[in-house]
Amino acid sequence: MFGIRTIGCAAILMLAAPAQAQDNGSQTANAALEHVKAGRHDAALKLLDLAIDAYARQYASEKRVIYCAGSPAETVYYMGEAAAAKKSAVAIDPGWCKVLWTKGYTLVDRKEYAAALPFLEQAVQMAPSHSHYLAELGYAYQALHDWPKSYATYARAAASAELSEAEYHDEDLGRGWRGMGFSLIEMGKLDEAEALFKKAIALDPNDEKSKNELKYIAEQRAKRS
């Protein structure tokens, strides 16, 4: 089912992929995650590679900018950005980005952080305001000790929480703030990190990760005094 919407000077095509295609991407990602939980990373990667290759072949001739549809607000945002840049864009079902993110996650779980980057970066390229994908990419940069990139990516994740589904907003925002705070600690910016962890706790009083980071900051200050 197709629908064409004109915004400004750019014609934007909103493509609703067949339900089967959407299910295939989501089902493959979910099946792969079950393999990861069971320690069967190779089996997960085999499934994901097949799905990623299938999506790449399906859209190989596509000349428009491809976005993965996300929340309604997120998808509308992508279309508006493309229109403002006078670019023709298409929003496809989220399955492609889901399998890309899941492959990145699988490699991160095996501590193959550098190998995970291309897949997480492609997911973020196609869903540039998807908070969860951004946070996973930020974590990979963090694991590689690229603190400035990690901080900047987590900052995007926090900002993008405004486009998340309402039920995920606080979780996505808190995750972004924690990631920013951890990178700030590693860059020696304890005051800025402390402020972020306090915001995260105000958002979720049960945020034990942020509470532990505040304890760590206090310990570091005590060592310096």
Task: Please check whether residues 101 and 147 belong to one and the same domain.
Answer: no
Task: Please check whether residues 195 and 100 belong to one and the same domain.
Answer: no
Task: Please check whether residues 102 and 17 belong to one and the same domain.
Answer: yes
Percent of the chain with pLDDT over 70: 90
Global confidence as pTM? 0.89
Task: Please check whether residues 35 and 88 belong to one and the same domain.
Answer: yes
Mean pLDDT of the chain: 91
The number of folded domains in the chain is: 2
Alpha-carbon distances, residue 64 vs 13, 32, 88, 137, 214 (angstroms): 9, 29, 5, 25, 46
Give φ, ψ of 5 to 5 degrees.
Answer: -125, 135
Task: Please check whether residues 172 and 146 belong to one and the same domain.
Answer: yes
- pLDDT confidence of residue 224: 85
User: Residue 25 belongs to what domain range?
Assistant: 1-112
Is 88 a member of any domain? yes
The tens digit of pLDDT for each residue in 175-194 reads 999 999 999 999 999 999 99
Is 107 a member of any domain? yes
Is 120 a member of any domain? no
Is 57 a member of any domain? yes
Task: Please check whether residues 163 and 62 belong to one and the same domain.
Answer: no
Question: How does residue 5 score in pLDDT terms, banded at 50, 70 and 90?
Answer: very low
Task: Please check whether residues 55 and 137 belong to one and the same domain.
Answer: no
Is 122 a member of any domain? no
- pLDDT confidence of residue 66: 97
**Spatial separation of the C-alpha atoms in residues 160 and 135, rounded to whole Å:** 10
Is 45 a member of any domain? yes
**Spatial separation of the C-alpha atoms in residues 101 and 91, rounded to whole Å:** 17
Task: Please check whether residues 3 and 108 belong to one and the same domain.
Answer: yes
Question: How does residue 113 score in pLDDT terms, banded at 50, 70 and 90?
Answer: very high
Task: Please check whether residues 216 and 134 belong to one and the same domain.
Answer: yes
Task: Please check whether residues 61 and 136 belong to one and the same domain.
Answer: no
Question: How does residue 11 score in pLDDT terms, banded at 50, 70 and 90?
Answer: very low
The tens digit of pLDDT for each residue in 13-55 reads 444 444 444 457 889 999 999 999 999 999 999 999 999 999 9
Task: Please check whether residues 11 and 80 belong to one and the same domain.
Answer: yes
166: CATH: 1.25.40.10
Full strand arrangement of the beta sheet holding 65-68 = 2-7, 10-15, 89-92, 65-68
Cβ–Cβ under 8 Å, residues 87 and 17: no
